[in-house]
Amino acid sequence: MAEAILSGWGRLALPGVELLGEDLESLSRGTTLSRGMGRSYGDSSLPARGTDRVVSTRLANRLLAFDAQTGVVRAEAGLSLVELNRLFVPRGFFTPVTPGTKFVTLGGMVASDVHGKNHHREGCFGAHVRSLLMRLADDSIVTCSPTELPDLFYATIGGMGLLGHILEVEFTLHRIPSPWIFMESERVRDIDEFLAALGRAAPRWPMTMGWIDCLQRGRSMGRGILMAGRWAEPHEAPKEPPRAAPELTFPVELPNWALNPTTASLFNMAYYWRHTQQRVETIVAPEPFFYPLDAILHWNRAYGPRGFTQYQCVLPRAAGSAAVREFMELLTRLGGASPLCVIKDCGPEGEGLLSFPLEGTSIAVDMAISPDIQRIVDQLNEFVIAAGGRIYLTKDLFTRPEHFRAMEPRLDRFLAAREKWDPQRRLRSAQSVRLFGDRA
Amino acid sequence: MKAVVLGGTAGMGRAVARRLAERGDEVFLMGRDAGDLARSAADLEARKAKDARVGYAVCDLEKPEGFAAALDEADRALGGFDTVVVTAGMFATQEALEADIELTRRVLTVNYTNTVVFCEHARKRLLERGGGQLTVFSSVAGDRGRKPVALYGSSKAGLSHYLESLDHKFHAKGLSVLCVKPGFVKTGMTAGLKPPPFAGEPDAVAKHVVRAMVARKPLLYTPAIWALVMLVIRWLPRFVMRRIGF
Ligand SMILES: Cc1cc2nc3c(=O)[nH]c(=O)nc-3n(C[C@H](O)[C@H](O)[C@H](O)COP(=O)(O)OP(=O)(O)OC[C@H]3O[C@@H](n4cnc5c(N)ncnc54)[C@H](O)[C@@H]3O)c2cc1C
């Protein structure tokens, strides 16, 4: 059952053995890690060493129960968000939290404790999980929840698969008034104005996020477009449900040089000025609103064979807008910027022991992998540590263990949970080898 | 349709059962394991917008003595069925089969003898009601004697032959028989194998199959490209087949 090469979304490829099958319960026995659709950018879904057997959950995708009264759904961990949305949006239900791609599994959403545009209202996905069925390192199968084995539960949420294989997930879907989104988008001139606009939007809108042009320097640094939205009421929405967009596939791998500073700033300029009015209100379909990048499958090929990484950090509110401005300046100075730079206002920290968000501002930027990348990430991390922030593990590929320790006060509690549930560290990933010193 | 799906808990059968359920057809599942059947039935129920129970019965292609009872139960649950789909089967690599004669016996029996026996039970019931639709998954592996699937392919060759004859014999009586010949499809069954260039996805295959069922076609290669591939393979001269590894 071998598949020679496994890779994450950033295209880092490592040798590995992936087990694929419908029966997670038997597949997961004696294996070291589970993975879903491999949409984590870095090395968190990759095996610690090439001979380790990792479980692919993709075929374990059954819905086990759904209660239309309460919205509670129970499903196998490999069920994807694509399927969930396809089945439930027409019935007036939506996932309580969605990341920026629908090509993720429930297991991956729990293990990364994903956040979405509504983080300031709804927190992370884990906040909506009622219980998990898991296979642990000692091969036993247990149920955990906020009340049953809570220490295991909170270490699993955001725990990057290191506490056990998630077999089933039970969580609550939200009711939606229509299958359409009411969106307001606004052009914003610079970074200070951006943070102010995000702050104004948060109490008024359940969903907000911004795209910023991080190649601009000087006065227009951090200009961009703020998008805010809510589900449209039936009387505002078109009678017909949104039509499925055609699926496009990024046809070829571009050469490494195709995405360079010049093409990137041309792209950004076009994107910014396409938004011709200061403020626009529209009714849009959920797909382009939540998943703009999913419209083109395999868009990661745009970065060429060198691959790319995403740097995502959150800077706490207390550090103020000055910290965000300085971060952006550092980023441009280091040459780490690219067309994709997303800014998000985060609400309070959740209960998952290694969950990413923190009350403050999250910045995510794609960066092509270059010989300088380690140095760039190191310098950004040093800035983030000084500001009291942290990085998002599911995107990470280059953070050093000492940096991670410095930014993560909860780390000892997480390691204690691992010590209790997996003293031999049988469950591990390429990432846990890098960050926690697990044996390769 | 009121459809019985033998093998509907996994792989292509799971995809076909889902597609039928989402279209609004009534589905009855059959498979080897009661727990697995219950979970798949729950999956189909949750996928249907309407409240509807999905029945199931244990039916194992290695135990032909249970076929009649399972079909009777489906008959009761559905109030008479008009469609039977068989996706169940057994796969093993040529190396594994060559190393184990008992395994060879099982694969040949399940894929050929017992599948034919099951189809005979199903066919009789369908014809008693004036006909219906019988869809059975054979394989492109049965189209030509080939080195990498010499034994498995022979069981599917026999099955394809049987299905073609059924179609000839009973078409006029209202029974339409569809022989599905999938090429490589990425399922749990093929998980250990390296996918060839035009490997298919189960959902796309299911869509294709249900369309062919509705159109009452007798034969379907899926993904469609395999019709072309097999056309070429069927015409390759023997000295070429002896030489190549295909
Ligand atoms: C375009 C794009 C946009 C994104 N936007 C966002 C966003 O807005 N917000 C956000 O939070 N994230 C975002 N992400 C990240 C993404 O949501 C996460 O990486 C998610 O976890 C990927 O899910 P997956 O099923 O592909 O998991 P994988 O990448 O396969 O695995 C991710 C982690 O989950 C673990 N895991 C997976 N399944 C299981 C299981 N059954 N049991 C135990 N552990 C398991 C793996 O071991 C690994 O550590 C984005 C990613 C992309 C590519």
pLDDT in tens, B139-163: 999 999 999 999 999 999 999 999 9
Predicted confidence at residue A4, as pLDDT, reads 62
Bigger pLDDT: B191 vs B5:
B5
Residue A356 three-state SS: coil
- Average confidence score pLDDT of chain B: 94
Residue A352 three-state SS: coil
Q: What is the DSSP string of A35-62?
A: ESS--SSSSTTS-SSTT-EEEE-TT---
Read off φ and ψ for residue A108, nearest 5 degrees: -65, -35
Sign, CA torsion B114/B119/B124/B128: positive
The three-point CA angle B20-B22-B26 to 5° equals 50
- Average confidence score pLDDT of chain A: 91
Distance A104 CA to ligand 1 centre (A): 6
Q: What is the average pLDDT across A195-220? A: 90
- pLDDT tens digits for range B224-234: 989 998 988 88
**Would you call the peptide bond into B223 cis, given omega within 30 degrees of 0 as the criterion?**
yes
Number of cross-chain residue pairs from A and B with Cβ atoms under 8 Å apart: 40
Q: What is the DSSP string of A257-316?
A: GGS-HHHHHHHHHHHHHHS-SSEEEEEE-HHHHH-GGGGEETGGGGG-TT-EEEEEEEEE
Q: What is the average pLDDT across B2-16? A: 96
Q: Do A63 and B46 touch (CB under 8 A)?
A: yes
The CA-atom distances, in angstroms, between A251 and each of A248, A300, A308, B18 are 8, 11, 18, 31
The CA-atom distances, in angstroms, between A195 and each of A190, A308, A363 are 9, 27, 12
The tokens describing A75, both together, are 């499903």
Closest residue by Cα to residue B140 from B103, B108, B179: B179
Residue pair A24/A167 in contact by the 8 Å Cβ criterion: yes
Distance A45 CA to ligand 1 centre (A): 8
Q: Do B42 and A64 touch (CB under 8 A)?
A: yes
What proportion of chain A, given as a percentage, has pLDDT over 70?
98
Residue pair A315/A387 in contact by the 8 Å Cβ criterion: yes
- pLDDT tens digits for range A248-288: 777 677 777 777 777 777 777 777 777 777 888 999 999 98
**What is the distance between the alpha carbons of residues A349 and A358, in angstroms, rounded to a whole number?**
4
Residue B27 three-state SS: strand
Predicted confidence at residue A262, as pLDDT, reads 76
Write out chain B residues lying below 8 Å of A21, CB-based.
Answer: 188, 191
Predicted confidence at residue A422, as pLDDT, reads 98
Q: Is residue A332 scored above 70 in pLDDT?
A: yes
Q: Is residue A3 scored above 60 in pLDDT?
A: no
**What is the distance between the alpha carbons of residues A133 and A164, in angstroms, rounded to a whole number?**
10
| Burial state string for B64-76 with b = 16 or more CB within 10 A and e = fewer than 16 | bebbeebbebbbe
- pLDDT tens digits for range A341-372: 899 999 999 999 999 999 999 999 988 888 89
- pLDDT tens digits for range B72-106: 999 999 999 999 999 999 999 999 999 999 999 99
* ipTM, 2 dp: 0.90
**What is the distance between the alpha carbons of residues A142 and A134, in angstroms, rounded to a whole number?**
5
Predicted confidence at residue A1, as pLDDT, reads 42
**What is the distance between the alpha carbons of residues A275 and A164, in angstroms, rounded to a whole number?**
46
Q: Is residue B202 scored above 70 in pLDDT?
A: yes
Chain B interface, best mutation among A25, A26, A59, by max B CB count within 10 A: A59
Closest-lying ligand 1 atom to the alpha carbon of residue A392: 11
Predicted confidence at residue B8, as pLDDT, reads 96
Q: What is the DSSP string of B194-240?
A: PP-TT-B-HHHHHHHHHHHHHTT-SEEEESTHHHHHHHHHHHS-HHH
**What is the distance between the alpha carbons of residues B202 and B207, in angstroms, rounded to a whole number?**
9
Residue pair A60/B35 in contact by the 8 Å Cβ criterion: no
Closest-lying ligand 1 atom to the alpha carbon of residue A115: 11
- pLDDT tens digits for range A372-407: 999 999 999 999 999 999 999 999 999 999 999 999
Residue pair A78/A51 in contact by the 8 Å Cβ criterion: no
Closest residue by Cα to residue A14 from A44, A39, A55, A59: A44
Residue A210 three-state SS: strand
